[in-house]
């Protein structure tokens, strides 16, 4: 699942972009979770860390270009696509390392063409590799493929998406947790850690992952885990 921020003050334009993303996701078998903000101030103050940003340039208050300049002072990498009818801003877009420009009004045929470039950038970011090296054993794991990790006996099993073989390392869950990014992985119970990028749903008892796995919250971790997942998914659970 990719978390996409749409920063657009027009309700109609925002809904159109969300509709284009949904249609593209169905066509390409991709999942997009949309976070919509009607001003750059609301987006910048949200604390969210989306995988992709669609930014209008003409916004109330700080412009999208000004917000992008500020964003790049602490986030140089997140793909940013400007959505605008102001072609004169194209050169300034390169100053904030904009990935692309989409011209309003956004038509799906044009949107789909731009998304090919966007998806290449997202997949490139998703192949971040971590080296799991504990007690003399080392394995390379791509974070985008890691669905969840669980402790079984004296070993941790890293379950990978797409039917790929699991990686088993002699370790503890605490040691495994320290190896994984805290803003992407959450401790669900005393024996498992979930990749929140693979979460498709959660209720008061359990979290459901993209591959159908259901991990049940422990009583002591239920509130903190649900809070972390809700924050990651933009308050959707």
pLDDT value of position 198: 87
Same-domain pairing of 120 and 141: no
Successive 10-residue mean pLDDT values, the chain, 237 residues: 93 96 94 94 89 93 91 85 74 71 91 91 74 66 88 92 83 86 90 91 91 94 92 65
Write down the residue that tokens 């270009």 correspond to. Answer: 65
pLDDT value of position 12: 95
Same-domain pairing of 121 and 157: no
CATH code of 168's domain: 2.40.50.1020
Q: Of 108, 126, 144, which residue constitutes the final position of a domain?
A: 126
Q: CA 92 to CA 224: how far, in whole Å?
A: 42
Q: Is 237 contained in some domain?
A: no
pLDDT value of position 93: 58
Give the domain extent around 112. Answer: 2-126
pLDDT value of position 140: 75
Q: Of 62, 93, 126, which residue constitutes the final position of a domain?
A: 126
Half-sphere exposure in the Cβ direction for 77 (13 Å, CA): 9
Same-domain pairing of 98 and 150: no
* Domain count for the chain: 2
Which segments of the chain are extended strands (E)?
2-7, 32-37, 52-56, 80-84, 100-103, 129-134, 137-142, 146-152, 155-160, 167-170, 185-189, 192-195, 199-202, 206-209, 214-216
DSSP symbol at 130: E
State the sign of the Cα–Cα–Cα–Cα dihedral 161, 235, 57, 63: negative
Q: CA 30 to CA 123: how far, in whole Å?
A: 12
CATH code of 118's domain: 3.40.50.2300
Q: What is the dihedral angle through the alpha carbons of 226, 119, 121, 114, rounded to the nearest 10 degrees?
A: -130
């Amino acid at each position: 699942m990719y978390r996409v921020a749409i920063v657009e003050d027009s309700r109609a334009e925002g809904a159109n972009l969300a509709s284009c993303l949904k249609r593209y996701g169905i066509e390409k078998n991709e999942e997009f979770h949309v976070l919509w903000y009607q001003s750059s101030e609301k987006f910048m103050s949200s604390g969210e860390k989306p995988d992709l940003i669609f930014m209008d340039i003409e916004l109330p208050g700080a412009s999208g270009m000004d917000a992008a300049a500020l964003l790049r002072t602490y986030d140089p990498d997140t793909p940013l696509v400007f959505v605008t009818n102001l072609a004169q801003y194209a050169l300034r877009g390169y100053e904030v390392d904009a990935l692309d420009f989409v011209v309003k009004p956004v038509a799906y045929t044009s949107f789909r063409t731009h998304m090919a470039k966007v998806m290449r950038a997202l997949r490139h970011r998703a192949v971040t590799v971590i080296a799991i090296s504990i007690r003399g054993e080392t394995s390379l794991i791509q974070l985008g493929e890691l669905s969840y990790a669980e402790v079984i006996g004296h070993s941790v099993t890293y379950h990978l998406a797409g039917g790929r073989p699991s990686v088993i390392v002699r370790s503890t869950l605490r040691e495994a947790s320290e190896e994984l990014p805290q803003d992407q992985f959450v401790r669900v119970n005393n024996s498992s850690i979930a990749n929140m990028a693979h979460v498709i749903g959660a209720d008061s008892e359990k979290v459901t992952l993209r591959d159908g796995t259901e991990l049940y919250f422990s009583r002591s971790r239920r509130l903190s885990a649900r809070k972390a997942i809700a924050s990651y998914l933009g308050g959707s659970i």
